Amino acid sequence: MRISIIRNYVRIYQIIILYSIYYTGDRMLLIDTEIKSFQATAFKAGEKDFITVNSEEIKGKWSIFFFYPADFTYVCPTELEDLADNYDEFQELGVDIYSVSTDSHFCHKAWHDASDAIRKITYTMISDNTFQISKNFDVLREKEGRSERGTFIVDPDGIIKAMEITCEGVGRDASNLIQKVKATQYIRENPGEVCPAKWKDGGATLAPSLDLVGKI
């Protein structure tokens, strides 16, 4: 009887481990994969009408897809304002920013008109009201119809090179994102080198080799 109980616990533990590996693996597979096809309507300040954004048009430049749960909320406007305050530096790095939520493009426009923080935004605000993009990036909470707080750096070939998903109550820092962009761009331009922890633009890098193993 006791052995049978132990075996059952082992089986349950194995199922939990396998599920964890499968679920985590699904998301990790997005790294170094091409973004899936999409087309969406977006709001962009200064344009005479709403615009259309698709997965082919974004290629040729670095892009950041910045998913957030909803318009007219609490943490989200602080993040989007922070991006807006640092947008010039992103542009100097050749990076386009696309904020994405499942709200409609009309809602984006209304929020931009109503909020002093959101009014600063000049980057593109995509409406993912069909859930297509959130599903493509595996950040959709299907029961709620909202996106997780996910950030993706996409290279000019449309390949996802970095990703981060945080819990709903934790806002992101644009300065940290700028540093990740710089590191990601550096290793693309300098094959054979990698950026160590706390690497800053112009800092020392590493060149992985057999001789380096165990020396750090």
Please enumerate in sequence order all residues whose Cβ is within 8 A of that of 108, keeping only pairs 6 or more positions apart, or say none: 42, 43, 71, 101, 125, 127
For the domain spanning 34-201, the CATH number is 3.40.30.10
Do 62 and 96 meet the contact criterion of CB atoms below 8 Å apart?
yes
Amino acid 186 reads Y
How confident is the model at residue 156, as a pLDDT?
98
Q: What pLDDT is attached to residue 213?
A: 80
Strands (E) across the chain are located at: 39-43, 51-54, 62-67, 95-101, 124-127, 140-141, 146-147, 149-154, 160-166
Q: What is the mean pLDDT of each run of 10 residues along the chain (216 residues)?
A: 49 47 55 96 96 96 97 95 98 98 97 96 97 96 93 98 93 96 96 92 88 76
Nearest to 76 by CA among 118, 14, 19: 118
Q: How many other C-beta atoms are found inside a 10 Å radius of the C-beta of residue 214?
A: 6
Determine the Cα–Cα distance for residues 35 and 32; give it in Å rounded to an integer.
9
Gap between the terminal Cα atoms of the chain: 51
Q: What are residue 142's phi and psi, to 5 degrees?
A: -65, -40
pTM of this structure:
0.85
Query: Is there a catalytic annotation at residue 76?
Result: yes
Domains in the chain: boundaries: 1-30, 34-201
Helix (H) or strand (E) holding 90: helix 87-92
Q: Is 158 exposed, middle or buried (0-12, 13-18, 19+ CB in 10 A)?
A: middle
